[in-house]
Amino acid sequence: MGQWEDAKREFEEAIARPGAPALWRVRYGRLFHERFNNVEAEKLLKEALQQETANAQAYVGLALVSADGFDEKATQYAAKAVEVDPKLVEAHEVFANLQLEDAKPDAAVKEADAAIALSPDALDAMAIRAAAAMLADKKAEAEAWLKKIAAVNPAYGEGYAIVARHLVLNRRYPEGVEYYRKAVAAEPQLWSARSQLGINLMRMGEEEEPRKLLEEAYNNGQTDVATANSLALLDSLKNFETIKDDTTVLRLDKKETELLKPYLSEQLHLAIATYSKKYKMSLKGPVQLEVYPNHEDFAVRTMGMPGLGALGVTFGNVVAMDSPSGRRPGDFNWGATMWHEMSHVFILSATDFRVPRWFTEGLAVHEEGQANPMWANRLTPEVVVAIRDKKLLPVAQLDQGFIFPKYPEQVLVSYYQGGEICDYIAEKWGNDALLGMVKSFAERKTTAEVMQVNLHVSPDEFDKGFMAWLDGRVGATVANFDSWRQQLKALVATAAGGDNDKTISMAPAVVKLYPEYVGDANAYEFLATAQLAKGDKAGAAATLTEFTKRGGESPAALKKLASLQEELGHPAEAAATLNELNFIYPEDEELHRRLGALWLAQGNKQGAIREYSAALAMKPLDMAQAQFDVARAYLAAGDKGKAEESVLASLEAAPGFKPAQKLLLELEGK
Ligand SMILES: [Zn+2]
């Protein structure tokens, strides 16, 4: 009846009684789970298990709690529940649901059937059958199952909601919305479905309807974090500006629009043009790119979704991502993220959302490296260890590495593996093979069929070829890992002790053992620092150039490299290095001033205008100089009108600023 506080009081009294059965604690735990408090829920469920080790319902409860966080333990708890009490219908239903989430449809159907055999009212099991049918594109079969549910209980909205949830988990957002609508229509008071409908409409770029739905849900007790935070996000969207043209919609926080818009707009249009040509298709409708300076606002978008979702996310034609201002400088490359997400936009559209996770992620990672070699797939220590310990999955099971990770780094490792697989396919079979695979996935073929048709190998043969190829590429680094770790440790100690000669003699060997390592405390930066201390500028520049080529993104190192390149008489290279920083951390006034000056001197007038305007957008202390710089760039580009505007603005900031006075006289021909 929704009287949760009263229910809580009764439960408290009940479980305090001597001899209270374990089941009472289980039911109380389930109440907490339903009311969005998994911490208390887990505590009570575990107490129940202490009281009675073979309590199947407690295991069901723990499976539900763990499933919320895509914790691998969820399936273990569900399996245990089935084992302890094979006649417990809900245990089979929960297990079936988890198997389907984990991309194991056959196992899911088997469990769902076990529940249906036990009870003609196993409505959730029927809904899982419907969801499995939908995912296999057997819509008639799905509808038949939903009809069976309606025959038992026409107001059972949860059945549609289960189907909707699986569609969303498989990135089929428009259909997910359609089924959440059916859930709400069948059961108007199913507030969880109303909230999810709102959240998924927001993901499609809507605002008005979601606000209404989310408020209704929240005001009726659906006060979970996802609902509350989505409402908060709708509020903070008031601070956003929308900039539209024929093919793009940019949504940026007003306070950083001026700085970021030129960069984002340029790259977004470039990505659309590049992918349209490469994938031989055009998008239906404009792409909406949302950039969030507050990471929490972005995180709302990915709530309840599996995987990393850490930097960017794509829902159909809507892409949401962090702003570089919301991250630690050097942690995030918005350019790589945007090109990654834009690949998803095209592939989801090309396949009508029927693409397995491993392929769309792998292709998106591959495309990062195609857009810019410095953004190529990263062989991080976690990945090296996973390869060493033979933890890569067969391609036919790779999807499972993205949802319920079997070890903490598995999602990250699966992204890497997917990316390498697509690199391998592009290298061995060519780009058209990748495009052919996209087409085959659009035709609803399975991974095995897609491989056979386009690559003429079975998944097993593919795995063998891929592992041999990967070994050729990274095998040495993997074999060197332990000695690399030891030698890096020794190098860190030597560098900290200030022995530059010894650092210079030790570091190259460390780099050679694991050249791809560009993370914290890497050998490149120790070597460059020591080389500089010894006055070897050319050596330090060569070291830092190799570091950036390998994907090193520390802003301090890149700025140091640009200075060295300038000092050594390579201004074009210095400008290129600074321009890379624009993708990493553009919130840096000095970067824009330096790059503006370099480009102005090199005759890149449009580049100079952009950079000096970016410096101005940072609201520097010396506004007169910043406006004056913009004026000079416009003048160089032959735009006297804009130059005069800027020079007047410069004089407004500092009426006595001599260079601006001089430029104004020049402009007025006096
Ligand atoms: Zn992705």
- Please, which pLDDT band fits residue 309 given cuts at 50, 70 and 90? low
- Residue 69 CA to residue 134 CA, distance in Å, equals 24
DSSP assignment string, 108-140: HHHHHHHHHHH-TT-HHHHHHHHHHHHHTT-HH
H or E element, residue 53:
none
- Please, which pLDDT band fits residue 403 given cuts at 50, 70 and 90? confident
Contact assessment for residue 491 and residue 523, using Cβ atoms and an 8 Å cutoff: yes
Lowest mean pLDDT among 16-30, 401-415, 449-463: 401-415
pLDDT at 191 over 90: yes
- Residue 54 CA to residue 634 CA, distance in Å, equals 78
Pick from 158, 157, 186, 203: which is nearest to 298 by CA? 203
- Residue 163 CA to residue 139 CA, distance in Å, equals 11
Residue scoring higher pLDDT (130 or 1): 130
Q: Separation of 61 CA from ligand 1 center, angstroms?
A: 32
- Residue 530 CA to residue 511 CA, distance in Å, equals 15
Q: Separation of 159 CA from ligand 1 center, angstroms?
A: 29
Strand (E) positions, 503-655?
none
Q: Separation of 364 CA from ligand 1 center, angstroms?
A: 6
Check residue 2 and give its pLDDT: 85
pLDDT in tens, 35-81: 999 999 999 999 999 999 999 999 999 999 999 888 889 999 999 99
Check residue 301 and give its pLDDT: 81
Q: How many CA atoms lie within 13 A of 98 on its CB side?
A: 29
Pick from 324, 253, 343, 335: which is nearest to 579 by CA? 335
Q: Separation of 170 CA from ligand 1 center, angstroms?
A: 13
How do 287-292 and 248-253 pair as beta strands?
parallel
Pick from 582, 580, 642: which is nearest to 611 by CA? 582
For 367, other C-beta atoms within 10 Å of its C-beta total 26
Q: Separation of 315 CA from ligand 1 center, angstroms?
A: 11
Contact assessment for residue 234 and residue 245, using Cβ atoms and an 8 Å cutoff: no
Check residue 70 and give its pLDDT: 85
- Please, which pLDDT band fits residue 306 given cuts at 50, 70 and 90? low
User: Residue 417 in 3-state DSSP?
Assistant: helix
Q: Separation of 209 CA from ligand 1 center, angstroms?
A: 27
Residue scoring higher pLDDT (132 or 310): 132
Residues with Cβ < 8 Å from 87, sequence gap 6 or more? 118
Q: Separation of 346 CA from ligand 1 center, angstroms?
A: 12
Check residue 307 and give its pLDDT: 58
Q: How many CA atoms lie within 13 A of 531 on its CB side?
A: 22
- Residue 366 CA to residue 351 CA, distance in Å, equals 18
Q: Separation of 312 CA from ligand 1 center, angstroms?
A: 7
Lowest mean pLDDT among 100-104, 121-125, 139-143: 100-104
Q: How many helices (H) and strands (E) does the chain have?
A: 33, 5
pLDDT at 474 over 80: yes
Q: Separation of 344 CA from ligand 1 center, angstroms?
A: 7
- Please, which pLDDT band fits residue 438 given cuts at 50, 70 and 90? very high
Amino acid identity of 58?
Answer: A
Percent of all residues in the chain with a pLDDT value above 90, rounded to a whole number? 91
Q: Separation of 355 CA from ligand 1 center, angstroms?
A: 12
Pick from 80, 75, 79, 1: which is nearest to 34 by CA? 1
Average pLDDT over residues 175-192: 97
- Please, which pLDDT band fits residue 517 given cuts at 50, 70 and 90? very high
Q: Separation of 435 CA from ligand 1 center, angstroms?
A: 18
Distances (CA, A) of 648 to 621, 641, 658: 17, 11, 12
Amino acid identity of 153?
Answer: N
Average model confidence (pLDDT) across the chain = 95
Joined together, the tokens standing for residue 614 give 């970016």
- Residue 80 CA to residue 589 CA, distance in Å, equals 58
pLDDT at 205 over 90: no
Average pLDDT over residues 240-265: 96
Pick from 85, 143, 91, 100: which is nearest to 122 by CA? 91
Pick from 143, 206, 144: which is nearest to 173 by CA? 206
Distances (CA, A) of 412 to 210, 313, 363, 391, 402: 32, 15, 15, 12, 8
Q: Separation of 422 CA from ligand 1 center, angstroms?
A: 14
Q: Separation of 313 CA from ligand 1 center, angstroms?
A: 7
Q: Separation of 336 CA from ligand 1 center, angstroms?
A: 11
Residue 225 phi, psi dihedral angles, 5° rounding? -60, -40
Alpha helical stretches, state H, 279-409: 295-302, 334-350, 357-371, 381-388
Contact assessment for residue 524 and residue 543, using Cβ atoms and an 8 Å cutoff: yes
pLDDT at 234 over 70: yes
Beta bridge partners of 136: none
Check residue 298 and give its pLDDT: 87
- Please, which pLDDT band fits residue 343 given cuts at 50, 70 and 90? very high
Average pLDDT over residues 355-361: 95
Amino acid identity of 653?
Answer: A
**CA-based torsion, 376, 380, 382, 388: positive or negative:** positive
Average pLDDT over residues 183-199: 97
Joined together, the tokens standing for residue 20 give 């209270």
pLDDT in tens, 599-655: 999 999 999 999 999 999 999 999 999 999 999 999 999 999 999 999 999 999 999
Q: Separation of 670 CA from ligand 1 center, angstroms?
A: 58
